[in-house]
Every structure is written in structure tokens, then in C-alpha cells.
Chain A
């Protein structure tokens, strides 16, 4: 079990984190450029988690939100550092358990990551915005559940669920395709089980 959390804090992993944060930003940028109704801002976090393990994944997520919260003035993101942390850790654990090896397994990872995001975001949404998320589709659903008299918690949970799970599914599809295409000389840098052989 200890191997799941094993992390090498070498220059290679340190450099991976800013690159992943950049990828998160790009995903969000393309999603808004193409006017997609999803966030797609955790592609980098998931790549970091798959390559570096849960600790690096969680770090990618948390640092991502803290950096953007403190520099771009979008401090709403700052609160969701907890969510990103959760996604990174959940996906990292799944990846270390071998759930990124085939496409169906990667989809299972996506569901786990999405559920982690929903469970952490829902209380935050209720605490800060009374249950809304800021996503058009999710908030429309929230309005319907509130009009029907459902409790705020349940409505907010559904609101988050219909956005987060498809979002993570698409994210993990992209991550899976990218990881398949990475050259081995790069992925071997992050392999925790690798052993250096000495020839002397």
C-alpha cells in the first residue's frame, strides 16, 4: 500500500507541476474559446497525477488554484483549491492502482475523480453561493430542483453532478490519449519502480 503514495521529488517532478498548471490553463482557455459548456480545467492535474502519483497530482491541483486565485484576481477559484486537491489525489491513487492501463479502466478513474470533485464542491457551493455553480446547465437544473421543492443540498449535489462527471469523462479521455502518445524516455523519468543498474 505504501507504494501508492511514493513520490520522488526530483527536478523532473518539480518541473512537471508548472507544466501541468499551464495545461490546466490551456484546457480552460480552449473550452472558453470553443464555447464548450464544460470547464476542462483539470487536464493538467490529471496528467500530473497519472505521471507523478497522488501527491504530485494533489499539489498540481492546489498550487494551480492558489496561483490563479492570487494573480488573476479570480479569487472564486481559490476556494476550489480543495476540490482540485481532491481530484489530483483521487486520480493519482487510481492511476497507481493500474486504472489508467486500458480505456474502460480510465473511464472508471474519470467517474471516481468526478465523484470526488462533486463531494468536495457541493458543501463549498452551498456555503459560498447558496448552491449555484456558475455553469449554465447545472444552474438551470438547480433552479428546477428548487422550484420543485427539493432540499438545497440535494439540488446542489445534482447541479454539480451533471457538470462534473461529464467534464471529468472528457478530461480523462484526453489524458488517456495523451499519455498513450508520450515517448517512453519521458515517462520513465516518473516511474517510481524504476531501478538504476550500475555496471561497475
Chain B
């Protein structure tokens, strides 16, 4: 069964790091350029994320994530470069289209922000197992019921994917057309989705009974199956990240940046 999570255990130091430290990195990486307000800060943070990804041996897995956002960034460049209201100074022209400096600069800022966010999230997403994050949150008092909700999404989805494949094959073998004009494709949507949805909703009843029987609603203190070893660097890195954010705020207030 294929999992939807992109996490792979490569045994690197990023895998061993505490999920909270990585979350703190996301916060720092996104907030520093936004607080600092300078374009080069985006560059520094994007480079930092790329170095981290490379050291965690997950640089290649991050490529599809960036490719996914490429269309959005291109659309932003086209629309802002051509039609931004502040446009005054022409930068270059392609055929009849003229790109303006102000719009392109604005688009650069948005595009770099998107890239920076994507890459810093990639550092977290590609190296942290969702199960681990939920476990750690539960240890800090997060409700086990909500923990179950999040964990069970990862169990239910592969099952639903299998049901979906079965039903798509079954409907096709009965002659349902899934390719062609927009009208044909629209019509195919309901016969494809409704059996899967129905069966998964009907399954929830059995799941609920199974959970109740195993004492899901009990209020006793829960124990954990795995104990995670503490990583020495967590505290040091955390302090450095917080210091960097504070430094940026100070820099902005005192006017160095």
C-alpha cells in the first residue's frame, strides 16, 4: 500500500532531530525575510534550506514540490509584470507584450516568498514521520482523540485508494466513458465517486464499533510504544534560530536592514 506521506527514513541527522526543532526552522525561515523586508534575505534562506535538504539526502525528492508551484509562479509573473497598477517603467518586451519593472519586482518578491516557504516546509515534510509528530504532540498534552484522527487519515487513505481503483475498473468494464469532452467527463464523476464515498461512510460505523470495543473512550493515561532518544543538537539549534529571529526584528527596528 502506498502512503501519501513523503517521509522516508534515510537515517540522517535531520531524521533524528526533534520535530519541534524542524517546525521552529520553518517559522524562522518564513518570518526572517518578511520581517527583514530585503530581497537578498529570501536568497539566503532559500540557500540555507537547499543546503539542509542536501545534507538530509532529500534534495531530489524536493524537485517535484517546486515543479508543482512553478505554474503559480509563472502566472504571477505574467499578470503582475504585464498589468500591475504601479507599472510605469518598461523593462523589456516580448512581441506585443511589455513587462514593467515595478510589476516584475513585486512578482519576484511573491515568487521568492513561495519558493522559500516551499523549501523550508520540504525540510520538515521530507524528514519527519507524521506518526512521530503526533506522538510528540500527545506527550505534550495534545488530545489523543485528535491524535487518532490525524493518524488514522494515513491508514484510511491507502484503503480508499484501493477501493477507488477497483470501482474505476468496474465502471469502465461496464462501459462508463471517462475520457472525451468536458460534458462526458463531468458525467463520469458521479458514478465514480459515489460508490467509494458510500462504502467508506458505511465502513465508519464498523470502525466506530471496533474502537468502542477496544476502550477508545476511556480516560486513563495512555502509554507509548516507542521512546525517542533525545538529540543533543536540538536545544542548541533551537536557541540559534530564536536568536536569529530576534536579531532580524532588532535589525529592522534599529534600521540596519
One of B8-16, B194-202, B237-245, B247-255 contacting the partner = B194-202
Determine if A18 and B205 form an interchain contact, defined as CB atoms under 8 angstroms apart: no
Interface string of B136-162 (1 = CB under 8 A from A): 000000000110111011111100100
Determine if B196 and A26 form an interchain contact, defined as CB atoms under 8 angstroms apart: yes
Q: Tell whether B45 is near chain A: CB-to-CB under 8 Å.
A: no
Interface string of B24-64 (1 = CB under 8 A from A): 00000000000000000000000000000000000000100
Determine if A139 and B200 form an interchain contact, defined as CB atoms under 8 angstroms apart: no
Q: Tell whether B88 is near chain A: CB-to-CB under 8 Å.
A: no
Determine if A30 and B152 form an interchain contact, defined as CB atoms under 8 angstroms apart: no
The residues in B between 195 and 232 inclusive whose CB is less than 8 angstroms from any CB of A are 196-198, 200-205, 207-209, 211-212, 216-217
Q: Tell whether A178 is near chain B: CB-to-CB under 8 Å.
A: yes
Which of B6, B75, B85, B146 contacts A132 (CB under 8 A)? B75
One of A5-13, A97-105, A109-117, A192-200 contacting the partner = A5-13
Interface residue count for A (Cβ, 8 Å)? 63
Query: In the complex, what residues of B have CB within 8 A of residue A19's CB?
Result: 156, 200-201, 203-204
Query: In the complex, what residues of B have CB within 8 A of residue A74's CB?
Result: 65, 68
Query: In the complex, what residues of A have CB within 8 A of residue B6's CB?
Result: 71-73
Interface residue count for B (Cβ, 8 Å)? 72
Which of B4, B84, B190, B208 contacts A12 (CB under 8 A)? B208
Q: Tell whether B79 is near chain A: CB-to-CB under 8 Å.
A: yes
- A73-B189 contact given A14-B149, A18-B149, CB 8 Å threshold: no
Binding site for A on B (CB under 8 A): 4-7, 62, 65, 68-69, 71-72, 75-76, 78-80, 82-85, 106-107, 110, 113-114, 117-118, 121-122, 124-126, 130, 133, 145-146, 148-150, 152-157, 160, 164, 178, 182, 185-186, 188-190, 192-194, 196-198, 200-205, 207-209, 211-212, 216-217
8 tightest A-B CB contacts, nearest first: A146-B83, A75-B121, A12-B208, A34-B185, A73-B125, A18-B152, A11-B208, A73-B65
